[in-house]
Structure 1
């Protein structure tokens, strides 16, 4: 199967894991796809583009003619953890894992990738998102290998440290790091979390109207998982004259709808927005960084 990897996949892997590691895996990808298709007796229909940020998604047919989606991710993104989370959810609120095909490849239930919660009006999309993410917050499996929110954010916090010395980002970075320290010190929840939950990660399905995809699973408190959702459609918030007040109302509304502490959700939203903003600066995506840091300043 000949193809060019989607540009978004190549760009994101390079930014996140390094150009050398990304280039090595992407160079092997065409041959890998062919091997996996043969091994799993799948017929490819088309590659999804722009597709995922850390994996290739191919729409396929199984040997019995039923539709499915093949997801192939490099080993350094830990596809085994996604597999374990999807197996544990077993289709409850998330896409169903149908099979494994080795080499970091998962055969998944076919959803409607062109229809996510972002296609709905904002109020409706947030309501559906809250109903979906609530289903994912379950006890993790015994003996799991998922990292904790404290472990993941400690790694991120170390990468943010240089921005304490930058006049443009010092105040926000310090506030975000202080918020994280306070949050992890008092975090007693250990539920299974999606890890990257937002409107674009919830797709329309046939088995049930909306299902989550693309988890980056970890364990911790529910407010961490909701924090990324708070800043969805950030470009619209920043463009609106009432963006700051709308962002704060969104924190309160989501916290109340899922019975979470408003201040803990605000704190995690601040940390995750500043972390994403400083990471965008490091990658040279200044426009994205400015949007994220302006949003964070409202909190």
Structure 2
């Protein structure tokens, strides 16, 4: 079939530099063709602009039922995503329609409305709906070797340190973020299965329920880690506001209260995740994104 990988996906894979993904993009046309043929699927179109870590094709199965076929490179841990989706069984997230153990060759998913996320709602309403969707995902993890928060943030911490140079102006902020991580990991609360990369754009309109989450990069750990990414949603609006610092503090307080999460721990994980994202954006040349994230982090 005629095929051209979405520009957004090509750019993101170029930034990630994961050895596990070497050659995956070149093999993607054949991977798609094989998944479609073996699944008896009919492709309607690719979902564009698509994600940064996967290709999604809108398809119909042999019975004509609409679905979404997702192909993800090995570095994006498709097996873990499929295991989490299978465990949630459609409660709060898109339903996995294909066997979880076949995730490496593609995941067939319940089709949602990709053009309608909770981010399209007014901010107060979008935060409420997103928080409600996230709460439903926090369950006991299944017997699968998911990465845990200590492991994931350990890799990130090493990458942050490696990016620093003597006299780097972001060094104090990085030092604070790393210290916050160490303190948080010293006495973690109860662990749950987490979405891992949750934000408003990951909650889409659906037929079965008003809103369902998509695109997890699941991890096992405390709920505050998951919620921390939501705190900085619409960061460009927050940083652009004359009262951005107070908005940031109110968000931490309100989200912590609404989901019964310790506000101090939420603040710490929000700091770490914002600084880590900011340093990573700087490393790959996304200067504007980096500046937004690091300014936001400085207010925490």
TM-score range, shorter chain: over 0.9
Name the structure 2 match of 1:94: 93
Structure 1 partner of 2:207: 206
> Deviations for 1:176-228, whole angstroms, at most 9, x for unmatched residues?
00000000111132100000000000000000000000000010000000000
Q: Which residue of 2 aligns with 1:46?
A: 45
Structure 2 residue runs of 5 or longer lacking an equivalent are none
Q: Matched residue pairs, number? A: 297
TM-score, with structure 2 as normaliser: 0.96
**Distance in 2 separating the partners of 1:42 and 1:148:** 35
- CA deviations over 1:52-83 (Å, ceiling 9, x no partner): 11110000000000100000011222100000
Q: Check conservation: 1:79, 1:104, Cα contact below 8 A.
A: no
Tell me by how many angstroms 1:243 deviates.
0.8
Relative distance call for 1:220 and 1:103 in structure 2 (3 A) is: closer
Which secondary structure state, in structure 2, belongs to the residue aligned with residue 57 of structure 1?
Answer: strand
Following the alignment from structure 1 to structure 2, what is the Cα–Cα distance between the partners of residues 8 and 215?
18
Match of 2:148 in 1: 148
* Distance in 1 of aligned mates of 2:233 and 2:17: 24
**Structure 1 residue 151 displacement after superposition:** 0.8
CA distance in 2 between counterparts of 1:218 and 1:244 reads 29
1:34-73 correspondence to structure 2 within 5 Å: 34-73=33-72
Matched position secondary structure for 2:49: coil
Q: Secondary structure at the match of 1:9?
A: helix
2:17 counterpart residue number: 17
SS in 1 for 2:98: strand
Instruction: Give how far 1:22 is off.
Output: 4.9
Which residue of structure 2 aligns with residue 267 of structure 1?
Answer: 268
- For the 8 Å contact 1:164–1:171, the answer to whether it is kept is no
Alignment check: 8 A CA contact 2:160 2:279 kept:
yes
Once superposed, which parts of structure 1, at least 4 consecutive aligned residues long, lie more than 3 Å away? Answer: 20-23, 100-104
**Partner in structure 2 of residue 192 of structure 1:** 193
What TM-score results when the alignment is normalised by the length of structure 1?
A: 0.96
Residues 227-236 or 95-104, more deviating: 95-104
SS in 2 for 1:82: helix
Structure 2 residue 36 is matched with structure 1 residue 27: no
SS at match of 1:97: coil
Pairing 1:2–2:10 present: no
Map 1:213-252 → 2, pairs under 5 A = 213-252=214-253
Cα distance in 2 between the residues matched to 1:118 and 1:239: 18
CA distance in 2, matches of 1:2, 1:89: 35
